[in-house]
C-alpha cells in the first residue's frame, strides 16, 4: 500500500481517481480549497484537509504545503488541477530531493513549454502539427495609467503586431486557467485594447489565438507517455454538452476512436519530450472540417471518468509508472467506444440555460443505461453529486456569475 497526496482535491476528477486508487489499496489524502465540493465529499478519501487556494493564495499555500509534508511520508503526489500542477512542477526538485516523494508532474522547463500556449503553437508550427495561429500578448504594466505616452504607444504597437498575425476574430486566452475562465472573444483592435488588460490583471500572461468556429462539440484527447517515450494509454472523448454554453467544461461526453487525432497528439508529446499525463483540447473548424490542437492541459482533467468507463485505468498507470517498474501498455482492443459520461451538477446548469434542453440528442433525460456513468458520483458514493450540485446552485444565485458565465 502506498500513501498518495492529491492536490486541488476539491475537483470533480478527484471522485473517480480516488475511487480507483482506493480499489488498488492505497491510502489517500487530499488538500482542498473548498469543503462544499465534489472532491471533498467523496467517501474514497481517507484524509482531507482544508488548505489555502493555490492560485489565489500561492505563498500561503506553499507554506501550508511544506508544513503539511513534514509529519507525513507520502510516496506520490498527484496534482488534480491546473494551478496545483503549475505549483508542483516548480517545487518538484525540492520535494523529490529533500522529502523523497515522487511528484506526478513534468519538470518546470518542460511544463512551461507546454503550458505557454504560444510556445506550444510554435512547436506545432515547426513540426506541421494541426493548430490555430497563436501569439503571446505583451505584458500589461500595472502602472499604465501613469505611463508615458511612448510606453503606451509601444504597448499598442505590440498588440497590433500580434493581432495582424492572428487576425480577427480572435480569442484572448490566459496561459493558466480552467473551465474557460478568462477566455474572451474579440472582434477588432478596439475590443482587444479594452478587454485584454483586465483579463491579464486577473490571470496573468495571455495569448491571442485564431478564432475557430466550431460545431456543437469538441474533443478531449487524454494520453500518458512513459519515460521511455511509449504511450501507455489514451482516450479520445467527444464533448457534446458543456458549460458555460459559450465554451467550457464537459457535462456530457462520449468515448470515440480517432486515429488521426491520436497520432497528432502523440507526435506533439514526442516533440516536447513530454513524460506523464497530458490532456489536449482539440476543435474542429466548422467551415473547413480541419482539426486544431488548442492547448495541452498538463493535469488530470474533469473528464477523467470517461477514460475509466472506456476501460483505461489511469490510476494504476500513475502508480505503476511513478512507484513501480513502469506502466504496462494498455491493450487498445479492450478500449470501449460509446461510453456516455455526465457531470450531473453541471448538466443541470446546462439544462437551465440551453435553448436545446428538449431537442438535444441523446436526450438530457437519459439518466441510466449500461453505457452511462457520472463524473460526480455513483449510487455507492452519492455525496459528491449532492455537494457539487449545491456548489452550482450557490454560483447560479450570484448575479455576477450569471452575467459572466451564463451567456450563450
Mean pLDDT by 10 residues, the chain (408 residues): 96 97 97 95 97 95 97 96 93 96 93 80 92 88 56 81 92 74 89 91 88 89 96 97 85 96 96 93 91 88 95 97 94 96 92 92 92 94 92 74 57
* Cβ-contact 176, 204 below 8 angstroms: yes
CA torsion angle 79 85 90 93 (round to 10): 40
The CATH number of the domain covering residues in 218-405: 3.30.470.20
How many other C-beta atoms are found inside a 10 Å radius of the C-beta of residue 6? 29
Angstrom distance (rounded) from CA 29 to CA 1: 13
Count how many residues are written for the chain.
Answer: 408
> Which CA distances in Å does 342 have to 12, 46, 348, 388?
11, 25, 10, 13
The whole-angstrom distance between residue 115's C-alpha and the CA centroid of its chain comes to 11
Say which CATH topology domain 133-210 has.
Dna Ligase; domain 1 (3.30.1490)
What is the predicted pLDDT for the residue at 176?
66
> Which CA distances in Å does 198 have to 157, 195, 342, 399?
19, 6, 33, 19
For residue 255 the three cell numbers come to 468515448
What is the predicted pLDDT for the residue at 98?
94
In the chain, where the domains are located: 3-106, 133-210, 218-405
Give the DSSP H or E segment for 233: strand 231-243
Angstrom distance (rounded) from CA 251 to CA 237: 12
What is the predicted pLDDT for the residue at 234?
97
Angstrom distance (rounded) from CA 334 to CA 398: 45
> Which CA distances in Å does 100 have to 3, 8, 29, 227, 323?
13, 21, 17, 19, 12
What is the predicted pLDDT for the residue at 408?
44
Report pTM.
Answer: 0.86
Angstrom distance (rounded) from CA 395 to CA 343: 16
How many other C-beta atoms are found inside a 10 Å radius of the C-beta of residue 323? 14
What is the predicted pLDDT for the residue at 404?
60
- Helix 189-203 to helix 149-166 angle (10° resolution) is 100
The CATH number of the domain covering residues in 3-106: 3.40.50.20
How many other C-beta atoms are found inside a 10 Å radius of the C-beta of residue 169? 14
What is the predicted pLDDT for the residue at 243?
87
Q: Which DSSP string do the residues of 41-84 spell out, in sequence order?
A: H-TT-SEEEE---TTTTHHHHHHHHHHHHTT---SEEEE-SHHH
What is the predicted pLDDT for the residue at 334?
96
SS3 at position 265: helix
> Quick one: CA dihedral 211, 212, 218, 224, positive or negative?
negative
Angstrom distance (rounded) from CA 245 to CA 242: 6
What is the predicted pLDDT for the residue at 180?
64
φ, ψ for residue 145 (rounded to 5)? -60, -30
What is the predicted pLDDT for the residue at 150?
57
* Cβ-contact 172, 203 below 8 angstroms: no
Amino acid at each position: 500500500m502506498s500513501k498518495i497526496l492529491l492536490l486541488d482535491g476539491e475537483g470533480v476528477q478527484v471522485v473517480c481517481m480516488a475511487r480507483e486508487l482506493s480499489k488498488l489499496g492505497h491510502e489517500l489524502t487530499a488538500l482542498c480549497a473548498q469543503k462544499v465540493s465534489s472532491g471533498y465529499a467523496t467517501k474514497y478519501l481517507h484524509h482531507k484537509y482544508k488548505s489555502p487556494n493555490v492560485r489565489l493564495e500561492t505563498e500561503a499555500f506553499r507554506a501550508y504545503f511544506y508544513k503539511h509534508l513534514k509529519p507525513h511520508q507520502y510516496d506520490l503526489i498527484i496534482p488534480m488541477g491546473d494551478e496545483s500542477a503549475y505549483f508542483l512542477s516548480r517545487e518538484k526538485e525540492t520535494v523529490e530531493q529533500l522529502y523523497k516523494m515522487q511528484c506526478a508532474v513534468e519538470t518546470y522547463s518542460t511544463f512551461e513549454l507546454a503550458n505557454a500556449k504560444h510556445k506550444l503553437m510554435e512547436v506545432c508550427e515547426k513540426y506541421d502539427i494541426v493548430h490555430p495561429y497563436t501569439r503571446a500578448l505583451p505584458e500589461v504594466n500595472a502602472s499604465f495609467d501613469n505611463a508615458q505616452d511612448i510606453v503606451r504607444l509601444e504597448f499598442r504597437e505590440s498588440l497590433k503586431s500580434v493581432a495582424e498575425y492572428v487576425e480577427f476574430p480572435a480569442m484572448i486566452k490566459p496561459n493558466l486557467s480552467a473551465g474557460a475562465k478568462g477566455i474572451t472573444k474579440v472582434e477588432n483592435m478596439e475590443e482587444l485594447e479594452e478587454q485584454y488588460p483586465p483579463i491579464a490583471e486577473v490571470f496573468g500572461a495571455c495569448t491571442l489565438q485564431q478564432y475557430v468556429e466550431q460545431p456543437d462539440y469538441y474533443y478531449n484527447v487524454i494520453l500518458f507517455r512513459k519515460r521511455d517515450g511509449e504511450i501507455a494509454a489514451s482516450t479520445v472523448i467527444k464533448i457534446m454538452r458543456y458549460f458555460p454554453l459559450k465554451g467550457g467544461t464537459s457535462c456530457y461526453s462520449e468515448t470515440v476512436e480517432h486515429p488521426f487525432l491520436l497520432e497528432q497528439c502523440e507526435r506533439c508529446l514526442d516533440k516536447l519530450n513530454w513524460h506523464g499525463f497530458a490532456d489536449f483540447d482539440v476543435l474542429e473548424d466548422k467551415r473547413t472540417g480541419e482539426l486544431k490542437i488548442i492547448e495541452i492541459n498538463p493535469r488530470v482533467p474533469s473528464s477523467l471518468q470517461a477514460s475509466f468507463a472506456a476501460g483505461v485505468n489511469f490510476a494504476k498507470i500513475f502508480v505503476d509508472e511513478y512507484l513501480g517498474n513502469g506502466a504496462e501498455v494498455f491493450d487498445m482492443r479492450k478500449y470501449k467506444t460509446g461510453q456516455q459520461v455526465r457531470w450531473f451538477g453541471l448538466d443541470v446548469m446546462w439544462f437551465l440555460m440551453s435553448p436545446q434542453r428538449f431537442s438535444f440528442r441523446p436526450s438530457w433525460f437519459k439518466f441510466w443505461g449500461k453505457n452511462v456513468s457520472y463524473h460526480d458520483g455513483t449510487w455507492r458514493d452519492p455525496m459528491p453529486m449532492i455537494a457539487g450540485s449545491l456548489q452550482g446552485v450557490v454560483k447560479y444565485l450570484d448575479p455576477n456569475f450569471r452575467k459572466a458565465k451564463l451567456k450563450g
